[in-house]
Chains A and B, each alone.
Chain A
Amino acid sequence: MAAEKIMKLPIAKAINESLRRAMEDDPKVLVMGEDVGKLGGVFRVTDGLQKDFGEDRVIDTPLAESGIVGTAIGMALRGYRPVVEIQFDGFVFPAYDQIVTQLAKMHARALGKIKLPVVIRIPYGGGIGAVEHHSESPEALFAHVAGLKCVSPSNSSDAYWMMQQAIRSDDPVIFFEPKRRYWDKGEVDTAAVPGPLHEAVTAREGTDLTLVAYGPMVKVCLEAAAAAAEEGKSLEVLDLRSMSPIDFDAIQRSVEKTRRLVVVHEAPVFLGTGSEIAARITERCFYHLEAPVLRVGGYHAPYPPARLEEEYLPGLDRVLDSVDRALAY
C-alpha cells in the first residue's frame, strides 16, 4: 500500500504508484501488455509490479495488440478489470477493430447487462526523437466512437488520480499518457479527494483569451501564457483532461469571460478534437465570441521524421502566433 502522503513524482512513476494502489485495493485489477512484466514496460511505467503482484496479475503478453485487447475483453467478462498497455500510439491499430467493434459496443449490445471495465493505456505524442509510429496522437479516432471514454493527464497528480478513476470506471477508458512528459515531476497527494474524471480544470486564470489543451500541450500553453503575460496579455489555460466526454460547460464558462478561444493539440487539426470544440463553442457562445475559434496542431501529413518534429509540433511560438491572430480581431 502506498503510504498516503504527498510525494513528488514524475508522471510515469505517478502512474506506477496508481496501478500499484489499484492492484492492492482490488484483486480483480490486472496489468497486461508487451514487456510490462519483467522489464516493467519500455518506459518503466509498470516497473516492479510483476515482482510484487506476480506473473498472474502482471502479464507479459504475446506480441499481438488485437490479442491483448480481445483477451482483456474476455477477462472483463469474467469479472476482471484489466489495464492493458499498448506500447506506442502507432501500434494500437491492430487492436482498433477489437476496441471499436467489440469493446465499445458490447455493453449496449447486451442492453446494459454486462460491463466492460477495461483501461487501455497508450503512451502518445511526439517530441522524443523517435522513429516512425512512435509519436502519434490518435485520440480523435477513439473519441469519435460511442462507448469509449478518452482521457489524458498533463501532470503527476492527474496521472495518479485519473488512473485510479479510470480503473474504477465501469466503462472502457482509453488512457492517453503524454510520453514526453513522463519524466516531468509534480506533487501527488495520495490522500486527496480528486475532482470528477471528465471535468476540465483551469490551469491558469486569465481574461483576454482562453487556451484549451490536454496532455503534453498543457505545459506549452502554460509557457505561452507566461510569455504573453510579459507582453501584458492575460491568457486563461484550461486543461481539458478528457477528450470524451468533453467538458464543454467549462470551456463555455471560460469563453464567455475571455471571448476568444484557441485550441491546441499535437494531433492533426483536420477533424481533430479542436474541430469539435470550435464547432460546439461557436454554437454555444456565438454572441460572446470576438474572434473565430482557432486551432493549433499537427498538419494533415504523416508524422514527420524526428529531425522535423519540432517544426511539426505546436510550440510556444505557434501558439502565440494564433493568440495574436485571435486577439487581432
Chain B
Amino acid sequence: MTVESTAGRKPRRTTAKRAGAKKPPAAAAASAAAGQPELVQLLTPEGKRVEHPEYSIDLGPEELRGLYRDMVLTRRFDAEATALQRQGELGLWASLLGQEAAQIGSGRALRDDDYVFPTYREHGVAWCRGVDPTNLLGMFRGVNNGGWDPTSNNFHLYTIVIGSQALHATGYAMGVAKDGADSAVIAYFGDGASSQGDVAEAFTFSAVYNAPVVFFCQNNQWAISEPTERQTRVPLYQRAQGYGFPGVRVDGNDVLACLAVTRSALERARRGEGPTLVEAFTYRMGAHTTSDDPTKYRRDEEREAWEAKDPILRLRAYLEAEGIADAAFLAALDQESEELGRHVREAIRLMPDPDTTAIFENIYADGHALVDEERAQFAAYQASFAEEGN
C-alpha cells in the first residue's frame, strides 16, 4: 500500500513537535515548524504566491477576481444571516466564517455535472452551485426542512445528522460509475464527523468499489466544544491510508490550494482511480451555531492567530500587490455585497410561513392511508374553529 500523500512525502506524526521533527521540505517549512504535518499551500497568509512540487494552478486575473468575489459575497451573506438570527428572523444559523477559502476553492473545482453532498454549513459551496442563498435560510427560519430541489443544481439537501451524507455520496458515485459517466461526487464533512461510523463505512465502500468520490473534510479544529484531538490521534488525512486511497492536507484558508487540490482529486475520480480524502485545515472563526458560546471552551488568542491567516485578506493582499484588483473593482464589490445583504433581508421578511397543511405534504410519493386520514381530521378540526367563529 503506497501512501499518496501531498507530494509523496512521509506523513509526519502529530507527536513530531515533542519528539523533535526532522527538517521538513522548504515548501512546508512554515507549517511543519509549528509541529503540524505539512500541508499544500500556494498562497501564504501574507498573500505571497508559492509553488508546490505536486499541485500547481494558473489562473487569469478574471478567475482570481472571481474567487475573491465569491469569498467576499459568501462572507457577507453569512454575516447577514447571523444578523438575521439575532433579529429573530432565523431560529438558528451555522456560520461558515473563516471557511470561505475551503468552500469556494473546492466548490469552484466542480463541474456542473458533478454532485455535491453538503453538511449544513456549506453556504459557500451552495453559492458556487448557483443555489439561491435565500433558499438556504428556509430550514434555519423553520419554514421547511430542506426546501430546494437537489437535482436542479446537483447540490443535495443540507444534512444535519453528522456524517450520514458521506454514504449517500458514495452510493451516488457508485451509480455514476455504473452509468459509465465521468462525473465526480464530493462529500463534505468536518473533523467531528470523522469519528462517525458512517464516514468510516463510506471510506470502506468507496475504496472497495473504487467510487468516483472526493471526501472533503473541513477540519475547522472544533466540533462544537471538542477539539480535533478529541476525534483523532493522527492527522485526519492520514486516515485514508488505512483504506487504501490517498489523503492530502491542504491549507484550508488558501483558496488557490483548495481549488488545485480538489480539482486534482476530482480528476483522479473521473479517471476511474477512486476516492481521495482532502483535509482542508482551517478554522471556525465564529461559534458552532448562533446558539453556541465558544468563550466557554477556547481562548481568544487562538482565534487571533487564525485571523492572521484569514482567507480573504490573503487573497486581497495578493491581488492588490499584483495589480489585479484595483480600487474600482473593490468598490464595486462592496456595493454588490451591500446589495446582496439587502436582497437577503428583504427575501427573509417576505418568506411566507408554510400553510398548515404542509405538515401532511410530501411524506410519501405514492400516498399513505393514515396520512390521508389524519390530514382530513386536521382539516375538520381547523374548520371547527371557523364554525364556532360564525
Contacts and interface: CB of A to CB of B under 8 A. Distances in A.
Interface in A86-132: 94, 97-98, 101-102, 105-116
25 contacts: A62-B208, A67-B202, A67-B204, A70-B167, A71-B168, A71-B174, A74-B175, A77-B156, A78-B171, A78-B175, A78-B176, A101-B161, A105-B145, A107-B365, A108-B362, A111-B144, A111-B361, A112-B362, A113-B148, A113-B152, A115-B365, A171-B365, A245-B368, A245-B370, A247-B369
A171 B157 contact: no
Given A74-B173, A78-B175, 10 more contacts: A56-B178, A67-B198, A70-B170, A70-B198, A70-B201, A70-B202, A71-B168, A76-B171, A109-B144, A169-B366
A184 B77 CA distance: 63
Contacts, number: 148
Contacts of B218: none
Contact of A78 (B152, B164, B172, B361): B172
A112 B151 CA distance: 12
B371 interface: yes
A120 B73 CA distance: 44
Contacts of B144: 109, 111
Contact of A64 (B147, B159, B205, B370): B205
A69 B363 CA distance: 19
Closest 7 CB pairs of A and B: A74-B171, A70-B167, A78-B175, A71-B171, A67-B201, A109-B146, A170-B365
Nearest to B159: A102
A146 interface: yes
Contact of B150 (A69, A97, A113): A113
B61 interface: no
Interface in B120-158: 144-152, 156-157
B151 A70 contact: no
Interface in A194-251: 198, 244-248
Interface residues of B, number: 44
B42 interface: no
Interface string A288-329: 000000000000000000000000000000000000000000
B381 interface: no
Interface string A139-167: 00000001101000000000000000000
A170 B364 CA distance: 8
A171 B364 contact: yes
A80 interface: yes
What band does the interface of chain A fall in when counting residues whose beta carbon is under 8 Å from B? 35 or more
B168 A147 contact: no
Interface in B65-85: none
A114 B168 CA distance: 14
A61 interface: yes
B374 to A, nearest CB: 10
Nearest to B156: A77
Contacts of A78: 171-172, 175-176, 179
A14 to B, nearest CB: 23
Contacts of A244: 368, 370
Contacts of A147: 363-364
Contacts of A61: 205
Given A66-B201, A107-B363, A111-B144, A75 B172 contact: yes
B198 A98 contact: yes
A53 to B, nearest CB: 12
Contacts of A146: 363, 371
Contacts of A9: none
A73 interface: yes
B365 A111 contact: no
Given A74-B172, A80-B175, A107 B201 contact: no
Contacts of A75: 171-172, 174-175
B171 A72 contact: yes
Contacts of B368: 149, 171, 244-245
A246 B361 CA distance: 19
Nearest to B183: A78
Interface of A: 56, 61-62, 64, 66-67, 69-80, 94, 97-98, 101-102, 105-116, 146-147, 149, 169-171, 198, 244-248
B8 interface: no
A111 B362 contact: yes
A110 B157 contact: yes
Given A66-B198, A97-B164, A147-B363, A77 B171 contact: yes
B197 interface: yes
Contacts of B92: none
A45 to B, nearest CB: 22
Interface in B368-388: 368-371
B244 to A, nearest CB: 13
Contacts of A73: 167-168, 171
B169 interface: yes
Nearest to A169: B366
B157 A109 contact: yes
B327 to A, nearest CB: 44
A276 B170 CA distance: 38
Contacts of A247: 369
Contact of A106 (B149, B157, B171): B157
B231 to A, nearest CB: 19
Contacts of A98: 164, 167, 198
A72 B157 CA distance: 17
Contacts of B364: 107, 147, 149, 171
Nearest to B175: A78
B168 A102 contact: yes
Contacts of A71: 167-168, 170-171, 174, 202, 205
Interface in B188-219: 197-198, 201-202, 204-205, 208
A74 B204 CA distance: 15
A248 B198 CA distance: 38
Nearest to B171: A74
A76 B150 CA distance: 13
A102 B158 CA distance: 11
A167 B172 CA distance: 19
Contact of B161 (A102, A107, A110, A248): A102
A316 to B, nearest CB: 32
Contacts of A170: 365-366
Nearest to B117: A74
